[in-house]
Structure 1
Amino acid sequence: MVVVGGGLAGMLSAAALSEHCDEITVIEQDTLPAGPRPRKGLPQARHGHMLWCGGAEAMERLVPGVTEDWLARGAHRVPLTSGMVGLSPQGWYRRWRDSHYLISCGRDLLDWAVRERVTARPSVSVLQRTRALSLSGGPDRITGVRVRTEDGLERLVEADLVVDAGGRSSRAQQWLTDLGVPLAKEEVVDAGTVYASRLFRSPAGHEPFPVVSLQADVHAPVPGRTAVLLPIEDGQWLITLSGTRGGRPTSDNEAFIPFARGARHPVVGELIAEAEPLSEVSTYANTANRRRYFENVSRWPEGFVALGDAVAVSNPVYGHGMSVAAQSALALREQVAARGLTARGLARRTQRAVARPVGMAWILSAGQDAFYPGAAARGPGPADRALSRYVGRLMRTATGNYMVATALTEVMTLSGPATALVRPRVLLAALAGPGRPQLTEPPLTERELALAQSPQKTP
């Protein structure tokens, strides 16, 4: 078996296949770091990543013990919703009793813990500094991958199954059409979002502190700004800001805190106003939602599956990319376990199974970003607007109703289907509206405010 791409999606794909075949070759064009350090092919790693429980639990099933590794190395298991201070487009969420969770740490640590466990498996080998050039085979069956190694030599790596987990730079669409496979429909929704992130020493030290997440309102007649504070390993806060066209952050260190204060509430800017910066500001602009509908291709070849960012990329502000990759790899494992690696129709069934978590994330990200001016070639239609109004009603109700807040959290964390939002009791609650008055300020405790206002000294 061959997996194209040694990033998170590639390693999870290798883990999914390792129980069912004796030899898996991962083809990676860069050098993979030996520890939790930056990887050349992952420029977005400097920005905030929230791993929702729907993705974390899929990863744990694929790579048992990885959650323990993250936590042992300083990651935070943040309970939801008591461990999050969140401002939705409809108001502040209360910090209800917990129903879900997220994992918060730097992306380098998260990837390394997965990579360390997967590459230790005897069936998995990695060809580093090797570029995948094309697929071999024809429109009915893929038989391998042509590669170029670091010494310039080209050769064919044969495989019963090729998994493309090559990320945003995947060339699967071109490779397949070169072999005569029909072109997949592609959709792009681009709100023009730019990210800016900076590390700070946590004023709270290693004391627990909530995630603070300020969402944008896609229906407001102003650029969408977000601000997120993530407590991560080593007593650090990772602050990620974002803005759409007309209101984007820059790499200017001096402008970072003023931009944070200019979000829909200034709380994140205020929390870091006296904190010690530990890095320069990093920016990232490749944030368009992009989806390839491989599951609808009329003649899909045997022996080839695409997943992760090779299929769909979501605006990182929604935090679904890693979770979708994990659930897609889990779908791959389940299909292989049920039918066998060489079963006829395995690739098509897997591609359709992958489309389920992809579709959920697409609705949550592209479905919202489409409301920004110029984001999509075709603006939201009547059905999109009706759905958006209903979701807005749910968000408003969730500010004062635990049951609705939990249903929304279930869907947002990719822990349950979207149908959770149309259960009869949720519908009735949405009609009734929130049962409590809305909060007017972020629900930080006095202790949390005191911790944030007592900066830790540099060791």
Structure 2
Amino acid sequence: MTEATRRNPTRVVVIGGSIAGMLAAAAVKDHADSVEIIEAHELPEGPEPRTGVPQAVHIHFLHAGGAEAIESLLPGTTDQLLAAGANRIPMTTNMVIYSPEGWYRRWQRPTHFMISASRDLTDSIVREQVLKDPRVSVRTNTKAVALRGDHRTVTGVRIHTADGTQAVLDADLVIDASGRATRTPQWLAELGITGLAEKRIDSGLVYASRFYRAPVPTRDWPMVGVQADPGLPQPGKAGGILPIEGDRWHVSLMGAPGGQPPREAGAFEAFARTLRHPVLADLLALAEPLTDVSVTHSTANRRYFYERLKHWPKGLVVLGDSVASFNPVYAQGISVAAQGALALRGVLASGLAHGLARRAQQAIARPVNTAWTLAVGQDIHFPTTTGASPNLADRLLHRYVSRLSRTATGSFHAATALTDVLALQAPPTSLVKPRVLLTALAGPLRPQLEQPQFTPAERRLLDSLHKHAASPQ
């Protein structure tokens, strides 16, 4: 913000105490005198479940692009996560992934990474980092019910508290980070701003998840996943095991309509055996379940194209799931919110007050574009998907990416090019650079793997566990 706008104390109100809301506060705190977060529920003190985050029971990880954005906003966060038991997983060195095109190799030259932890742990550490700044405060058990202002300028929000009290909070900048339940489209209409475009593309995927006591130390243990193949005639099924803090495995199984995972605990592992490969079921047979099964049906990709509106009011920014939410199978939500918050900080740091809110919204749209292209570009090819169908260009691109993915099973360069994009560190357009095109044309340089690639040490440990499980007790 310019010096002209700082003659009076600048106040920012953030709607939503989610991780997106916390990262939004981190992005603006150095450019404001006060930041107040409005949260509809209580916030836990530590790594405990937070009301209003049903997706927390399903596997989460931070892509490299998201982890780096959070680290830029909140230096030291990665070290705190690792100290609390999170895992830094080198890609593809510690990943056992069965793609539709075959097993990816575990190349010993890691080029990227991901951070694996429970959502509760990630939330708590980010929240602690943000709230230790005296400029940031939280008003819990409070709902934002309307924007104040007009179609030219948003000047604050109207709130309701748990005891029924109503009040108005004035603000120089309002940030909506309330998530999938956002009411900004309705609020804009009430201000006379119409024409907002929206897309909703739903593969119908259902998630079922539970936590297990891992039979092995989880530090340096690989992530294991079986991906769905949209080219098969049966409903798509997928699953993953993520090593997290507390020597636990976080396990999620997914299935499209006609092949949805069960809610019953006794049928969870049996469903895992129906995936394209039984590796998950074989591993779960060695582990101890710690929780019941949690199921969710809210997996649609949904996006509001705020950046396309002809008019955008001063004093309003929308961030995180309030802009776009993605099929959670791609684990993009937190990373995209972090990159959006980082983009917001960059716009604020420019010092140009004119058109700040519109420029911020356009900057936030850029990481959303990448994630949207990846998620929708995959989901539209499942026969159960509603909201969009692949056209000729989509089918040709899908064939090319499938060829590149098959090449990646035996080509380090192809694997690196794909991982650049999947880690949210490069745009999808990077996959059609001349060198990548030539790599895809050449095909894999090594023969395909016939089975999951565990290291000799991992294989010995698993063999010993299998022998122990088979021996008479």
Cα deviation for residue 385 of structure 1 reads: 1.1
Query: Does structure 1 retain, via aligned residues, the 8 Å contact 2:14–2:36?
Result: yes
Tell me the residue number matched to 2:102.
91
Query: Does structure 1 retain, via aligned residues, the 8 Å contact 2:374–2:428?
Result: no
Query: Does structure 1 retain, via aligned residues, the 8 Å contact 2:202–2:387?
Result: no
TM-score calculated relative to the size of structure 1: 0.97
Distance 2:150 2:86 in 1: 45
Query: Does structure 2 retain, via aligned residues, the 8 Å contact 1:204–1:454?
Result: no
Distance 2:433 2:165 in 1: 58
Tell me the residue number matched to 1:151.
163
Q: How does 1:409-448 map to 2 (within 5 A)?
A: 409-448=419-458
- 2:36 maps to 1:56: no
Query: Does structure 1 retain, via aligned residues, the 8 Å contact 2:58–2:252?
Result: yes
Residue 376 of structure 1 aligns to a residue whose secondary structure is: coil
Query: Does structure 1 retain, via aligned residues, the 8 Å contact 2:218–2:244?
Result: no
Distance 1:248 1:281 in 2: 13
Query: Does structure 1 retain, via aligned residues, the 8 Å contact 2:197–2:304?
Result: yes
Tell me the residue number matched to 2:9.
none
Q: Which amino acid aligns with 2:450?
A: T
Q: Which amino acid aligns with 1:290?
A: R
- 2:75 maps to 1:68: no
Runs of 4+ in 1 over 3 A off after TM superposition: 452-457
Match of 2:18 among 7, 24, 33: 7
Cα deviation for residue 183 of structure 1 reads: 3.1
Q: How does 1:255-334 map to 2 (within 5 A)?
A: 255-334=267-346
Distance 2:232 2:150 in 1: 50
Cα deviation for residue 417 of structure 1 reads: 2.0
Distance 2:312 2:430 in 1: 32
Distance 1:402 1:424 in 2: 16
Q: Which amino acid aligns with 1:355?
A: A
Tell me the residue number matched to 1:233.
245
- 2:359 maps to 1:349: yes
Residue 298 of structure 1 aligns to a residue whose secondary structure is: coil
Cα deviation for residue 416 of structure 1 reads: 1.6
Task: Specify every segment of 5 or more residues in structure 1 that has no aligned partner in the other structure, as ranges.
Answer: none
Query: Does structure 1 retain, via aligned residues, the 8 Å contact 2:256–2:384?
Result: no
Match of 1:376 among 362, 371, 386: 386
Cα deviation for residue 281 of structure 1 reads: 0.9
Tell me the residue number matched to 2:258.
246
Distance 2:424 2:268 in 1: 31
Distance 1:426 1:228 in 2: 28
Is the alpha carbon distance of 1:204 and 1:311 closer, same or farther for their aligned partners in structure 2, counting shifts above 3 Å?
Answer: same
Residue 227 of structure 1 aligns to a residue whose secondary structure is: strand
Distance 2:76 2:387 in 1: 44
- 2:386 maps to 1:393: no
Query: Does structure 2 retain, via aligned residues, the 8 Å contact 1:147–1:155?
Result: yes
Q: Which amino acid aligns with 1:392?
A: S
Is the alpha carbon distance of 1:109 and 1:265 closer, same or farther for their aligned partners in structure 2, counting shifts above 3 Å?
Answer: same
Task: Specify every segment of 5 or more residues in structure 2 that has no aligned partner in the other structure, as ranges.
Answer: 1-11, 469-473
Cα deviation for residue 450 of structure 1 reads: 3.2
Distance 1:421 1:331 in 2: 24
Query: Does structure 1 retain, via aligned residues, the 8 Å contact 2:218–2:243?
Result: no
Q: Percent identity?
A: 52
Distance 1:51 1:402 in 2: 23
Residue 398 of structure 2 aligns to a residue whose secondary structure is: helix
Residue 325 of structure 1 aligns to a residue whose secondary structure is: helix
Query: Does structure 2 retain, via aligned residues, the 8 Å contact 1:8–1:114?
Result: yes
Q: Which amino acid aligns with 2:42?
A: T
Distance 1:144 1:219 in 2: 50
Q: Which amino acid aligns with 1:298?
A: K
Distance 2:197 2:430 in 1: 29
Distance 1:171 1:18 in 2: 24
Match of 1:449 among 445, 459, 464: 459
Distance 2:152 2:100 in 1: 48
